[in-house]
Amino acid sequence: MKTRERKQQDLNALTEQLSNSKSAMVVSFNKLTVNKDQEFRNQLRSAGANYQVVKNTIARLAVKGTPYEGASEYFKGVTGIAWTDNDPVVLSKAVSKFVKDNADIYTFKAGVVEGRVVDLKQIEAIASLPSKEELISKLLFVINAQAQRLATVINAVPRNLAIVIKQIGDAKPAVQAEQKSEAAEATQEQPAAETTVEAAETTPNETEAVSEQNAAEPEVNSDVAPETEQSAEQTGSPDAAPEAETESAQEAEPEKSE
């Protein structure tokens, strides 16, 4: 049986440890075997937590004036307290999983996280969150990914510049060859163009000469036309022919009589 001094030492030690912790879980159990008790302690130790089965009176005195005082009403029956000064998510994961897997032995009473009393559903919600180490790992991954992208972009600038310079260097001979080819084609096309220009200059003059000739022909026809009309009148008139014959006959008769 513990003496009064021993009980006071246990109370002081529990008070000091709880005052330095960030979160605590209060559980109860029945029909507990040594193996299950040891398994539960190992799980909590792996999570960086401490665990102790305490008397309810000492537990109430230990949490008095601390953030865990709100859990005093749950110090009834068999009481075990698990606490940690590390990430509360890790402790929540360990306790909620073990209690769920061994519901016939362990019962969850209450939890205190950052001075707030929570129930089992809230503990399970906290347990579903990523732990501090997981968050740091994800944050580092994001930072490294961004750094790698930045490094890729920075390295791409000189690489792309070198590619552009090389493409310009490769394209220059091709441009020069194309220019020479165009100059040669222009030289070959120049005589043909001059011949076309001369033909174009000669054609208007010839056209004017033909036009003048055509214009002159109607004038000649107009001058000849009256004479033709007169001849037609002289040869073609029916009355003029008898009169001419009569006059010739009359002139011939006197000559015979003489």
Residue 77 in contact with residue 28, Cβ under 8 Å?
yes
The reported pLDDT for the residue numbered 252 is 44
d(CA 50, CA 82) in angstroms, rounded, equals 5
What is the tens place of the pLDDT at every residue in 185-217? 767 665 554 554 454 554 445 555 545 555 545
84 forms beta bridges with 23
Q: Does some domain include residue 237?
A: no
Q: Show which of 157, 180, 204 is a domain's final residue.
A: 204
Residue 94 in contact with residue 47, Cβ under 8 Å?
yes
Q: Does some domain include residue 1?
A: no
Nearest CA to 97 out of 54, 137, 44, 50 is that of 44
Task: Indicate the residue type of 247.
Answer: E
- CA within 13 Å, CB half, 90: 19
Residue 149 in contact with residue 155, Cβ under 8 Å?
no
- Please give the C-alpha separations between residue 198 and each of 190, 208, 248, in angstroms, as whole numbers: 13, 16, 71
Q: Does some domain include residue 143?
A: yes
Q: Does some domain include residue 212?
A: no
- 3-state class (DSSP) for residue 32: coil
The reported pLDDT for the residue numbered 254 is 44
Q: Does some domain include residue 103?
A: yes
Pair (143, 180) in one structural domain: yes
Q: Kindly tell me the burial class for residue 121, based on how many C-beta atoms sit within 10 Å of its own C-beta (0-12, 13-18, 19 or more).
A: exposed
Q: Show which of 73, 94, 129 is a domain's final residue.
A: 129
Of the listed ranges 41-45, 107-111, 250-254, the least confidently predicted one is 250-254
Pair (45, 117) in one structural domain: yes
Pair (99, 142) in one structural domain: no
Pair (99, 160) in one structural domain: no
Pair (63, 20) in one structural domain: yes
Q: Does some domain include residue 80?
A: yes
Pair (122, 135) in one structural domain: no
Pair (29, 56) in one structural domain: yes
What is the tens place of the pLDDT at every residue in 239-254? 444 444 444 444 444 4
Average pLDDT in the chain: 73
Residue 97 in contact with residue 55, Cβ under 8 Å?
no
Pair (105, 36) in one structural domain: yes
Pair (74, 176) in one structural domain: no
d(CA 61, CA 63) in angstroms, rounded, equals 6
- Please give the C-alpha separations between residue 103 and each of 106, 119, 155, in angstroms, as whole numbers: 5, 16, 58
What is the tens place of the pLDDT at every residue in 67-102? 899 899 999 999 999 999 888 888 999 999 999 999
Q: Show which of 103, 129, 155 is a domain's final residue.
A: 129
And the tokens for 125? 């919600």
Neighbours of 46 (CB within 10 A): 10
Domain that holds residue 138: 131-204
**Residue ranges of the alpha helices (H) in 53-131?**
56-63, 88-101, 120-127
Nearest CA to 53 out of 98, 23, 83, 73 is that of 83
Pair (61, 97) in one structural domain: yes
In the chain, how many domains are there?
A: 2
Pair (195, 164) in one structural domain: yes
Residue 53 in contact with residue 80, Cβ under 8 Å?
yes
Pair (113, 137) in one structural domain: no
The reported pLDDT for the residue numbered 126 is 83
